[in-house]
């Protein structure tokens, strides 16, 4: 809700909590066939993408989310060449993927209008990643793309919206979708999905863990913190043969060095190790689910 152009508050994930952000300006507002889109300039977090009244990413702390969504899986693979991103219309995940020695990145985003709005207003997040010659941009439903199982990938990144209400992202949390992801993983491949706040929506975090466990033997949940979501945040990664939680600090450091990645603001070899060590309440909740 943008009230008088001064404040934004998300449609709440849980009805009993609301956070208000002061807004300096509304830079873009549009309605696509899939959702309501806005780019706002907030006082605290800089420019932010808002879809269906829910903040998706903001300039000031997007690195806490995008570095942690992308680098742990990319680093866990010794040679990630072919990458699939589903969703991720702001380009922040794509930008981080392109820092690795990839040959081709296929990005399947349902909403061309989101990419166009972000391309114009959120340079600080995508930094021109959409124009990299290694990128194939496809505008279609990620679920339909995965259903066709037309290619395999070393890394699959699902950067979709919250699984709340009648949004186009709901299908990205369904068991059939996870079956498709598993079929599309090349040997040694890893898939990662953003899995919500384990404080506000622990059932969602655990549900994705369970669904992935049905299709792939190694499943790990790990954490970051995203202040503009007013929460710490979880990702869930799965693989047939690679355990990213077992990677030692020296190997992560060596791979970052070999790939010339030295600009991270959140991710580091120590953070990689620590992020997979879950607090007891969450470890127990996932184990017992």
Q: Which residues are annotated as a binding site?
A: 35, 66, 90, 109, 141-142, 166
Measured CA to CA, the distance from residue 149 to residue 181 in angstroms comes to 8
- Which of the residues are catalytic? 159
Cβ nearer to ligand SAM, comparing 235 with 276? 235
Minimum distance from CB of 140 to ligand SAM (Å)? 7
Instruction: Kindly state whether residue 80 participates in binding ligand SAM, applying the rule CB under 6 A.
Output: no
Instruction: Kindly state whether residue 13 participates in binding ligand SAM, applying the rule CB under 6 A.
Output: no
Whether residue 272 contacts residue 252, with contact meaning beta carbons closer than 8 Å, is answered with yes
Minimum distance from CB of 90 to ligand SAM (Å)? 5
Instruction: Kindly state whether residue 89 participates in binding ligand SAM, applying the rule CB under 6 A.
Output: yes
Minimum distance from CB of 57 to ligand SAM (Å)? 5
Cβ nearer to ligand SAM, comparing 171 with 252? 171
139-198 binders of ligand SAM (CB under 6 A): 141-143, 159-161, 168-169, 171-172, 194
Cβ nearer to ligand SAM, comparing 139 with 273? 139
Instruction: Kindly state whether residue 65 participates in binding ligand SAM, applying the rule CB under 6 A.
Output: yes
Residues 6+ positions from 112 with CB-CB distance below 8 Å? 32, 139
Minimum distance from CB of 287 to ligand SAM (Å)? 25
Binding site for ligand SAM (CB under 6 A): 51, 56-57, 65, 86-90, 108-111, 114, 141-143, 159-161, 168-169, 171-172, 194
């Amino acid at each position: 809700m943008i009230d008088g152009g001064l404040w934004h508050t998300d449609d709440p994930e849980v009805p009993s909590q609301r956070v208000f952000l002061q807004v300096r300006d509304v830079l873009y507002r549009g309605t696509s066939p899939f959702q309501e889109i806005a780019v706002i300039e907030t006082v605290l977090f800089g420019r932010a993408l808002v879809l269906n009244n829910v903040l998706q990413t903001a300039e000031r702390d997007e690195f806490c989310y995008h570095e942690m969504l992308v680098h742990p899986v990319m680093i866990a693979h010794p040679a990630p060449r072919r990458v699939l991103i589903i969703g991720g219309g702001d380009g922040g995940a794509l930008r981080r993927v392109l820092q690795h020695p990839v040959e081709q990145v296929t990005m399947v985003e349902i909403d061309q209008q989101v990419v166009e709005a972000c391309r114009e207003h959120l340079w600080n997040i995508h930094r021109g990643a959409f124009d990299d010659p290694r990128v194939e941009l496809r505008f279609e439903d990620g679920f339909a793309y995965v259903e066709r199982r037309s290619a395999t990938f070393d890394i699959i990144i699902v950067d979709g919206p919250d699984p709340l209400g009648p949004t186009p992202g709901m299908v990205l949390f369904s068991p059939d979708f996870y079956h498709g992801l598993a079929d599309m993983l090349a040997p040694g491949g890893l898939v990662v999905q953003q899995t919500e706040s384990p404080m506000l929506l622990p059932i969602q975090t655990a549900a994705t863990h369970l669904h992935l466990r049905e299709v792939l033997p190694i499943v790990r949940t790990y954490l970051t913190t995203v202040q503009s979501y007013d929460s710490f945040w979880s990702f869930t990664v799965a693989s047939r043969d690679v355990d990213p939680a077992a990677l030692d600090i020296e190997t992560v450091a060596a791979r970052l060095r070999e790939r010339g990645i030295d600009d991270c603001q959140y991710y580091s070899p120590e953070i990689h190790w620590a992020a997979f060590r879950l607090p007891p309440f969450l470890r127990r909740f996932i184990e017992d689910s």
